[in-house]
Chain A
Amino acid sequence: EIVLTQSPATLSLSPGERATLSCRASQSVSGYLAWYQQKPGQAPRLLIYDASNRATGIPARFSGSGSGTDFTLTISSLEPEDFVVYYCQQRNNWPLTFGQGTRLEIK
């Protein structure tokens, strides 16, 4: 099973700042990694797929990069609604796995 480790667990920033979230895989997942956003009481929403492709309707301030074992989700300028939880997910191997999540909180 591929283990995805997200860091940091919690990231404290202010609106307008740049956020950089990390996801590291225990073995290569090639470019087959997605990022999801989950707001309280809601289902997750797909943000990025195949490491760097924005899903339909996702604002341009969200971007993804990486390949192999190291991936990054960047939010260029934080909006108030961005302070929620983010998960990475790999699709390279069964079982599909998620990272444990990074909580973005207002500083």
Chain B
Amino acid sequence: EVHLLESGGTLVPPGGSLRLSCAASRFTFSSYAMTWVRQAPGKGLEWVSTISNSGGTTFYADSVQGRFTISRDNSKNTLHLQMNSLRADDTAVYYCAKGTIAARYFDFWGQGTLVTVSS
């Protein structure tokens, strides 16, 4: 079955930067769009960013536009999220998720990685 494993979450001070990664396996990574979704502690789900299968097209939530950059390396089956100018309200569990054929639903998710922005 599809496997997604996030890494990189940690405690970072406000204004800091962090790079999350998601290692994908057991499916043809280069054929599917990939997405980051986050969940603040005790809160609901928030879509963050999506990248097309080729990496040529990206979409961002307004809340992260200009601060976060999504990217992928299809040769290494890896998804990334570069997060700059981090704020306290970026504190959340960050999930990577595989898109369905329709791309904008998510049929497999990683276990998540916790990012805490605090001084």
Contacts and interface: CB of A to CB of B under 8 A. Distances in A.
B105 A44 contact: no
Contact of A43 (B47, B59, B112): B112
Interface residues of B, number: 23
Contacts of B47: 89, 95-98
B21 interface: no
Contacts of B45: 36, 38, 44, 87, 89, 98, 101
Contacts of A95: 47, 59, 61-62
B104 interface: yes
Given A95-B62, A97-B47, A98-B45, A43 B95 contact: yes
Interface in A78-92: 87, 89, 91
Interchain residue pairs A-B with the least CB separation, the first 7: A91-B104, A43-B109, A96-B47, A98-B45, A34-B105, A101-B44, A49-B105
